[in-house]
Structure 1
Amino acid sequence: MKIQSFLLAAALASIPAWAAAEPVPGGTCQGKRQEISRNLDEARAKGQKQRVRGLEQALSELDAHCTDAKLQAEHRKRIQRQEQAVAARERELKEAERDGSAKKVERRKSKLQEEQAKLQQLKESKSE
């Protein structure tokens, strides 16, 4: 099972980062299947044999193991982790404010805003 998970992760990693950041239509296994198929067609058209093999493997693993419930659970976990990251940045900001360094406070505010933006994006995307 670990090998299958690794293969799926490796194959999905071959999908461009911008595609992974975009919400999959409906946040379902079917949406992921469509995205992988689209990338597979593109890779075939460009003659990218290794990428084709990886995407075919990803499609196979997706068909074998993907459930919409599992996707939703993973998305909820990502949101929880991001909420923890925001809380940690808030603590760091409070610490910096106590220390009184204006430069440090500004850096911490900036980091907090980045984490909050990531959290908002996750919440808006429903599930990927």
Structure 2
Amino acid sequence: MKRPGYLLPLCFCAAYASGALADDTNPLCSAREEEVLHELQSAEKYGNEHRIEGLQRALSNIRAHCTDESLIADAEEAVEESREEVRDRRQDLDEALREGDPDDIAEQREELQEAEDELHSDIQQLRALQGPR
């Protein structure tokens, strides 16, 4: 399951419940704010109004609600969702193997690989947020 890149800033900001501002006490939030500002500048450069609006909402949410803990929690949730997707894709592949349709097997293998790639990416993002242990 691929997530569109333009939704990434919104995904990181949608579930923040705390009232803490993104500042030095939340360095991950400060870094996320900088990323969104950079994306916003790029969208403004190319006049992408829809993206500008979404990024402005994301920036507002970061500034109003972001905590480092919420970023990590969101990343952990993404990993769990990706793990579930991998489990589902493995079941689909097992079923295709039982049925023996070569085209379906190839399709299910490709979908499993995509799900595994996304899981790997989500795990890397989580580890980056968690920092060195």
TM range (shorter): 0.5 to 0.7
More helix by share: 1
Distance 1:98 1:40, change over 3 A: closer
Structure-to-structure mapping, 1:29-108, within 5 angstroms: 29-43=29-43, 55-108=55-108
In the alignment, structure 1 segments of 5+ residues that lack a partner are 1-15, 22-26
Deviations 1:65-99 (A, max 9, x none): 00110111111111101100100110111111111
**Cα RMSD for the two superposed structures:** 3.1
**Aligned length, in residue pairs:** 108
Higher relative CO (CA 8 A, sep ≥ 6), structure 1 or 2?
1
Distance 1:43 1:102, change over 3 A: closer
Does the Cα contact within 8 Å between 2:28 and 2:68 map onto a contact in 1?
A: yes
Q: TM-score, normalised by structure 1?
A: 0.67
Does the Cα contact within 8 Å between 2:40 and 2:56 map onto a contact in 1?
A: yes
